[in-house]
A and B are shown apart, each in its own frame.
Chain A
């Protein structure tokens, strides 16, 4: 049985992100609106009027320990709710590489991306003017291994709502799934400032159906030989 948001046993990071943001954003928006509303309402309701000089004295109540204590309790409950949801989702998105998916080695260096498919013996490279394309099959676990050859870069696919730093001397592993087929022009980016051409350190993302991916694999292997 397939759970919602799960494809091939690995969580769909975008689905998880949207669900968690779906909790945070409404609460945040409500807080902002409430504050704005209270500021405007109090400013209007308690504004000084020439007529009330002397007649109306500002309140001399300067503390309300019980109300404020209750308010702290409410705040703590909100924090606890947010943390509980965050921990649950983080447990899923930080799922270690399953080891059974398609392995892709990502190498970042100034200012290029390189994608190695070790089992398929395919390498995707770009040039200074044309970024490389990350080609992946849809609905299959992709086990990424990320490293950098020089400075810190970061691997970001906004459509997947996911990013990881590539730190030189450190290998980082994570798994992603791509549920929909399609081509994302500049769908991948370096998001950690890495020097001169950081601005243009991007890659395309091409998600193929499993059959199309198999065809692409054969063509690349034939063409590369």
Chain B
């Protein structure tokens, strides 16, 4: 009896804990996850995109990405960094419902009801490697010299 209570206590707690799933796995088994609640994490990329009744954000986890529809546009204000060339986007956790063929938007998407920033993004600093600077300078001198020789040669040939 005590064992059964312990079993129920441990496994009964599971629905209260949210475990992030792999987006790749979700997208590999779309039929299984269709219309189901899912939890996953990823980097926010691009920018928020306006839509009637909410706002779109795009989340990338590894090589796969998906559009997440936030019904509450206020949620998007939690995101401070959107991934781009100059920024690493915020790492967020999304809780929502996965639709293989969304009846509203006619595409594969996730309707999120909860968004949490797990790790804030940051500015990516550019460092120009020394070899690029040296190579540019060397090539500039070479190109200029060749250009002058070419110009003189062609002019001479034309006169000839």
Whether A and B are associated in the same complex: the answer reads no
